[in-house]
Amino acid sequence: MDPGAKAAAAAVTVDDVRHVAMLARLGVSDERARALTRDLNAILEHMAVLARVDTTGIDETAAKADGGMRLRDESAPCVQLASKPEAFAPEMRHGFFIVPRLSSHEDVSA
C-alpha cells in the first residue's frame, strides 16, 4: 500500500497504544490506554492531509538554514560539573549507576 494511503487509512487500536507504550517504556492502565487511543486517533485524523501533498523527489532534510554550522573538532570541550553524579543520581556505587536487575528473559527480548 502507498505510504500516504496507509496513513490515511490507519486507525490506532488499543493494542497499538499498548505496543507503543511498551516501546516508550511508559506504563499505561487499560482505562488510560482507551483514552489515549481516542486522543491519538483524533490527532492523527488531522495528519491525513499530509498524504495528499505531492512530495515526489522532495528532500526530507532540506528545511534548515543555509551554512553557518560546522562540525567541531574531535576534542570537544569538557563541561565541568559543579557536583558529582552521586549528588543527583538515584543510586550509585563505586562510580557506577545502580539499576534493578532484569527480572526475566522476557525483558531482554521485549
Partner 1 sequence: MSAEDRTATAAAIAESVRNGKRLAQDVTTAALARARHVDEKEKLNVFLQRADKQAAEFAGRLGAPLERSAHHPLLGVPFAAKDNIAVTGLQVSCGSRILDGYVSPYTATVIDRLRDAGAVLIGKTNLDEFAMGSSTEFSAFGPTRNPIAPDRVPGGSSGGSAAAVAAGVVPIALGSETGGSVRQPAAFCGIVGVKPTYGRVSRHGLVAFGSSLDQIGVFATTVTDAAMTLRAIAGRDDLDATSADVPVPDYMMAEASSLEGIVVGRPAEYFPAELDARIAALCDRAFDRMRSLGAEVRDVTLPHTAMAIPVYYVVAPAEASSNLARFDGVRYGLRVAGDGLRGMYEATRSRGFGPEVTRRILLGTYVLSAGYYDAYYRKAMQVRTLIAGDFRRVFDSGVHVLFTPTTPTPAFPFGSRSDPYEMYLSDIFTCTANLAGIPAMSQPIGRVDGLPAGGQLMAAHFDEARMFSVASALERGLGAEAHA
Residue 14 interacting with partner 1 (CB under 8 A): no
- Find the helix or strand (DSSP H, E) in which 39 lies: helix 30-47
Residue 109 interacting with partner 1 (CB under 8 A): no
Q: Residue 71: helix, strand or coil by DSSP?
A: coil
Residue 55 interacting with partner 1 (CB under 8 A): yes
68 class by beta-carbon count within 10 Å (0-12 exposed, 13-18 middle, 19+ buried): exposed
Placement of cell 523527489 in the chain? 57
Residue 3 interacting with partner 1 (CB under 8 A): yes
Is 65 or 94 the residue whose CB approaches partner 1 more closely?
Answer: 65
CB of 31 to partner 1, least distance (A): 13
Residue 101 interacting with partner 1 (CB under 8 A): yes
